[in-house]
Amino acid sequence: MESDGPNEERTADGNRVLVLNPVSGSQDHVDDVVELAGEHGFEIRRTEDAGDAMRLARQAAPEADLVAAAGGDGTLNEVVNGVAAADALETTTVAVVPAGTGNNFATNIGIEGIEHAFAVVEEGRRREIDLGLANDRVFVNSCVGGVTAEASSETSSASKEELGVLAYVKETVDALGEFDALPLRVETAAGPNGERARAWEGQALFVLVGNCRRFTGARTAQAAVEDGLFEVTIVEDAPTRNLLSDAALEGLFGRESDHIVRRRAPSLAIESRRDSVEYSLDGEMLETETIELETKPSALRLVVGDAYRPDPDGDGGDVWPFA
């Protein structure tokens, strides 16, 4: 474990609330979560419908020192939006109990499973990480527009149950063949480390904005999330769509391509030149013609596991985005 810096200050988590999504993932987490939550002094509030996690977190946050989200990335997204709506981000720490299909965010912050999540609540570090703001909603992991956003909105629960994470990949490949590229203008703002304000305009298959999640080419899937910057990846359309479908997917998970544009920026605006576009904010959908994205540095107090890296590029290795 790394040494306790100023970002690691511990406070007693007196009042603990756990927001439980009983229908996330394969739905077999409920008994374990309820038992462990009881042992660790959490009051449990169950969701009954989409939107409940945000409402429950908003109600709990003014009194609670610690609010845990038990579910997938979508549940966590709602919980963080609830804490933000209660204006309690400075006083309420958020914990993640991974019980979804992909649990991408939990993995990025070093939470390995349900039991581990509770152990980390007791013994793990607290960090203050950047939040993403997209129009008036917050997100923790990523904001994705294009093929993968369509795929994530179309992936059925039955297919998720059967295939797990592969369901998204399959939907993405299936969707790519039929996808109309998005005519977009993407303007990234100047950043503190010499990043220039830049504009990109063209036909995009994907626009991937990572806060905690990194999309291409690096050794770690966890992005730097205490730097006040998003990692922006644009996958351009190309005449050779079939070739690109390989490249795009490999690019997503680890290969370079001429059709991939990368930027780091504290904020950006994406404007559609045609109709509105569907974006996925941590898996929750937002349809809009223009999206304004901004980082809120160190805005979220979060319980993290040992594998979480405050500076994933800082140990002398390759620095994202290579080029």
Ligand X SMILES: Nc1ncnc2c1ncn2[C@@H]1O[C@H](COP(=O)(O)OP(=O)(O)OP(=O)(O)O)[C@@H](O)[C@H]1O
| Residues near ligand X, by CB under 6 A | 21-25, 47-53, 71-75, 78, 100-103, 283-284
Alpha helices in 86-180 (DSSP H): 104-108, 114-123, 147-154, 157-163, 166-178
Minimal distance, residue 44 CB to ligand X, in Å = 13
Least separation in angstroms between residue 154's CB and ligand X is 13
Tell me whether residue 52 or residue 292 sits nearer to ligand X (CB atom): 52
Q: How far is the CB of 106 from ligand X (least distance, A)?
A: 8
> In the complex with ligand X, which residue's Cβ is closer, 19 or 291?
19
Rounded to a whole number of angstroms, the minimum distance from the CB of residue 66 to ligand X is 19
Task: From 142, 255, 156, 249, select the one nearest 205 (Cα to Cα).
Answer: 249
Q: How far is the CB of 149 from ligand X (least distance, A)?
A: 13
| Shortest Cβ 228–ligand X spacing (Å) | 26
Q: For residues 16 and 29, which CB has a smaller minimum distance to ligand X in the complex?
A: 29
Closer CB to ligand X, 158 or 323, in the complex: 158
- Smallest gap from residue 167 Cβ to ligand X (A): 9
Q: 32, 114 in Cβ contact below 8 A?
A: yes
Contacts of 87 (CB under 8 A, 6+ apart): none
Comparing CB distances to ligand X, the nearer of 53 and 235 is 53
Nearer to ligand X, 76 or 204 (CB): 76
Judged by CB, which is closer to ligand X: 99, or 235?
A: 99
**Residue 217 corresponds to which tokens in the numbers above?**
């080419």
CA-CA-CA-CA dihedral for 11, 15, 20, 25, to nearest 10? 10
Q: Are 305 and 105 spatial neighbours (Cβ–Cβ below 8 Å)?
A: no
How far is Cα 160 from Cα 270, in angstroms, rounded to an integer?
30
Can you point out the beta strands (E) in 32-157?
42-46, 66-71, 93-98, 125-134, 137-139, 142-146
CB nearer ligand X, residue 31 or residue 49 = 49
Q: How big, in percent rounded to 5, are the helix, strand and coil portions of the chain?
A: 30, 35, 40
Least distance (Å) between residue 1 CB and ligand X: 26
Angle at 225 between CA 209 and CA 263, to 5 degrees: 40
CA distance 278 to 267: 19
Quickly tell me which residue has 């999309």 as its tokens.
215
- H or E segment at 59? helix 52-60
| Nearest residue to the partner ligand X, using Cβ | 72
